[in-house]
């Protein structure tokens, strides 16, 4: 008993930043419950400053943890009876989620969104769920954390109370419930096959390999159904464009990167512990995601809906590094997720800044805006080029790394599946040029209906967007430091 109590106290001490963040959720709920002036400007500013300050503090703690070698985080710490697993990868991905959350709250503040007080409470709960998800190596905790993230996401999507939000929310809920049911059934199959809920242990791999390959593959595919739903990967992608179009842009920006980052870490752990060949199913998921995402995006006239389809394609690219099954592939995947965070936050901030002028997210409304504001025109070119994966942006470096890892994996294994995915990925990268560059094309080369009139963005908004642009370009010329950090994870 004393040993168990000591272990619980040790686990609580290690996860103290997470517990403090959970306590901040209770504080925010209490403030909302007892405040009588929730609609005032001061309350919005207070919540933004409070949560951003907390996130910056916790982010600094996570960053400090990465630099402390004495904690031996590389080997990992099993906490709370192996329900939680904390290692350097967990801390790095929690840092990414924290950065994304800060970026989204600044987006809400700077663009001038008026949200309900409950938004902040649900948003904090969502972040806490993602923190737990990054530390999961137990199938039971995986399901619980996925459900926590999903429920918070459903609420944020419908919180705007519009008709389109309600329709998107219902679709999101139905697909989420279906994927959760599939995932839960897959978990039960895996538990029956292996007799353990710990999916990173040697026992899991040993017993899984004793089952027929096709049954193990089916169980794994069903188990990752909930993860693919959060990743917006085929065949669990159908909710994405509708939700992206109807939901407030800052919420979409967060959903487009933070849950994906946590899911990618879970997939890295799961795939690393598999004792069966899962390449064929993974390749099919990648090919389907790239095809559906890129070809559907070609016909879109709404910028947010187009970015929704493009994120399906990016989900496929995130899985490419995992398909390579080598160390370079894992590092390339983490690098891709890290850089995609800054690119996607910049993209959604851009479309929101443009919508302030046009009051629309349609491509037709962008005509001539690049002529009215040269900075926004150049920003659109930079961001869209980064999403395609062309120099001089870090998007090129990210795609180069995952394709290099795939080529290295093909040379090592000789698997034709890897070569097919490599060629298909290159082809889809070329196809994506045609829809990504539509935005700068309409802004710069299309003439506005009512002459050219300068569009003033505001220095604070311009500085926020400029920060993302600098990161996107800087990491292209100097990716070594980030790669060095990733290499030590």
What pLDDT was estimated at residue 102?
A: 94
Q: Residue 67: is its pLDDT beyond 90?
A: no
- What is the rounded distance in angstroms from the CA atom of residue 233 to the CA atom of residue 292? 10
**Arithmetic mean of pLDDT, 334-358:** 92
128's tokens: 């806490």
Strands 84-86 and 77-79, bridge-based pairing: antiparallel
How far is it, in rounded angstroms, from Cα 130 to Cα 266? 11
Report CA torsion sign: 99, 102, 106, 108.
positive
Region 392-411 average pLDDT: 92
DSSP 153-212: HHHHHHTT--HHHHHHHHHHHHHHHHHHHHHHHHHHHHHHHHS-SBTTSHHHHHHHTTS-
Q: Which two tokens stand for residue 19?
A: 């517990």
Q: Which of the four pLDDT bands, split at 50, 70 and 90, describes residue 423?
A: very high
- The structure tokens listed for 127 are 């972040």
Whether the bond between 392 and the residue before it is cis, its omega within 30 degrees of 0, is: yes
Element of type H or E holding 102: helix 88-111
Q: Are 73 and 65 contacting, i.e. CB atoms less than 8 angstroms apart?
A: yes
Residue 140 has pLDDT above 70, yes or no: yes
Cβ 457 vs Cβ 376: under 8 Å: yes
CA distances to 24, 105, 262, 334 from 99, in Å: 18, 10, 13, 15
Q: Is 479's pLDDT higher than 70? A: yes
- Integer-rounded Cα radius of gyration of the chain: 22
> Other CB atoms closer than 10 Å to residue 155's CB: what's the count?
17
pLDDT single digits (tens) 73-123: 545 677 777 788 888 889 999 999 999 999 999 998 888 887 777 888 899
Q: What is the pLDDT of residue 399?
A: 93
Q: Report whether pLDDT(47) > 90.
A: no
Q: What are the start-end ranges of the H helices in 389-457?
A: 394-413, 416-436, 438-444
pLDDT at 70: 44
- Average predicted confidence (pLDDT) for the chain: 86
Rounded to 10°, the helix 374-388/327-358 angle is 150
Calpha distance 91→135 (Å, rounded): 8
Q: Is the pTM of this model over 0.85?
A: yes
DSSP assignment, residue 441?
H
How far is residue 259 CA from its own chain's centroid? 5
Residue 452 is predicted with a pLDDT of 52
pLDDT digits (tens, 9 = 90+) for 278-303: 888 999 999 999 999 999 998 888 89
pLDDT band at 373 (very low <50, low <70, confident <90, very high): confident
Q: Could you tell me if 310 and 293 are in contact, meaning their C-beta atoms sit under 8 angstroms apart?
A: yes
Element (H, E) at 85: strand 84-86
How far is Cα 48 from Cα 42, in angstroms, rounded to an integer?
10
* Tens digit of each residue's pLDDT (9 = 90 or more) over 199-249: 887 888 888 888 888 888 899 999 998 899 989 888 888 888 888 988 889
Distance separating alpha carbons of residues 236 and 174, to the nearest angstrom: 11
Of residues 449 and 266, more confidently modeled = 266
Percent of the chain's residues with pLDDT above 70: 94
- Average pLDDT rounded to a whole number, residues 183-206: 88
308 dihedral zone (left: phi>0; alpha: psi -120 to 50; beta): alpha
| Cα–Cα distance, 269 to 89 (Å, whole number) | 10
What would the two tokens of residue 391 be?
Answer: 């120099």
Contact 216, 208 (CB under 8 A): yes
What pLDDT band is residue 310 in, cutting at 50, 70 and 90?
A: very high
Lowest-pLDDT range of 163-172, 177-186, 450-459? 450-459
Among residues 129, 232, 136, the alpha carbon closest in space to that of 187 is found at 136
The residues, any chain, with a CB within 8 Å of residue 436's CB and separated by 6 or more, are 310, 384, 385, 387, 388
- Cβ atoms of 192 and 183 within 8 Å: the answer is no
321-342: b (≥16 Cβ within 10 Å) or e: bbbbbbebbbbbbbbbbbbbbb
Q: What is the pLDDT of residues 434-450, one digit of tens each?
A: 999 999 998 888 777 66
Q: Is the pLDDT of residue 37 over 60?
A: no
CA distance 182 to 222: 6
Angle at 334 between CA 136 and CA 380, to 5 degrees: 125
Tokens at residue 420, please?
Answer: 């097919």
Query: In the numeric block, which tokens belong to residue 120?
Result: 């902040």
Does the structure show a pLDDT above 60 at 39?
no
Distance CA 59, CA 317 (A): 27
Mean pLDDT of 24-32: 84
Strand partners, 417: none
| Closest-CA residue to 43 (of 130, 125, 119) | 119
């Amino acid at each position: 008993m004393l040993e168990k109590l000591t272990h619980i106290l040790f686990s609580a001490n290690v996860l103290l930043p997470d517990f403090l963040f959970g306590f901040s959720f209770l504080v925010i709920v209490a403030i909302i419950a007892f405040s009588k002036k929730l609609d005032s400007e001061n309350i919005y500013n207070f919540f933004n400053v409070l949560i951003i300050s907390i996130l910056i503090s916790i982010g600094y703690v996570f960053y400090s943890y990465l630099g402390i070698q004495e904690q031996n985080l590389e080997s990992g710490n099993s906490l709370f009876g192996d329900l939680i697993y904390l290692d350097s990868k967990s801390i790095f991905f929690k840092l990414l989620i924290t950065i994304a959350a800060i970026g989204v709250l600044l987006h809400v503040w700077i663009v001038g969104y008026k949200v309900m007080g409950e938004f902040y409470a649900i948003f904090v709960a969502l972040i806490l769920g993602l923190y737990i998800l990054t530390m999961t190596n137990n199938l039971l905790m995986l399901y619980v954390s996925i459900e926590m993230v999903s429920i918070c996401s459903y609420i944020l999507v419908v919180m705007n109370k519009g008709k389109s939000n309600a329709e998107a929310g219902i679709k999101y809920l139905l697909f989420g419930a279906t994927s959760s049911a599939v995932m839960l059934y897959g978990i039960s199959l895996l538990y029956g096959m292996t007799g353990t809920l710990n999916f990173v242990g040697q026992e899991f791999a040993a017993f899984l390999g004793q089952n027929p390959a096709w049954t193990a593959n089916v169980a794994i595919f069903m188990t990752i159904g909930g993860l693919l739903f959060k990743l917006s990967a085929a065949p669990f992608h159908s909710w994405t464009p509708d939700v992206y179009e109807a939901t407030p842009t800052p919420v979409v920006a967060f959903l487009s990167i933070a849950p994906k980052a946590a899911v990618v870490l879970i997939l890295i752990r799961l795939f690393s512990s598999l004792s069966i060949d899962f390449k064929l199913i993974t390749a099919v998921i990648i090919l389907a995601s790239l095809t559906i995402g890129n070809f559907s995006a070609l016909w879109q006239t709404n910028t947010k809906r187009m970015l929704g389809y493009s994120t399906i394609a990016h989900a496929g690219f995130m899985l490419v590094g995992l398909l390579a099954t080598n160390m370079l592939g894992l590092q390339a995947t983490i690098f891709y997720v890290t850089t995609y965070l800054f690119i996607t936050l910049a993209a959604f901030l851009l479309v929101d800044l443009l919508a302030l002028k046009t009051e629309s997210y349609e491509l037709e409304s962008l005509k001539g805006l690049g002529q009215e504001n040269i900075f926004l025109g150049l920003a659109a070119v930079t961001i869209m080029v980064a999403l395609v994966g062309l120099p001089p942006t870090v998007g090129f470096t990210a795609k180069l790394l995952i394709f290099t890892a795939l080529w290295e994996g093909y040379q090592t294994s000789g698997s034709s599946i890897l070569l097919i995915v490599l060629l298909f990925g290159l082809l889809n990268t070329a196809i994506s040029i045609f829809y990504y560059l539509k935005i700068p094309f309409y802004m710069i080369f299309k003439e506005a209906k009512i002459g050219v009139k300068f569009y003033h963005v505001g220095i604070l908004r311009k500085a926020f967007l400029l920060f993302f642009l600098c990161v996107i370009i800087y990491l292209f010329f100097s990716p070594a430091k980030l790669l060095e950090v990733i290499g030590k994870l």
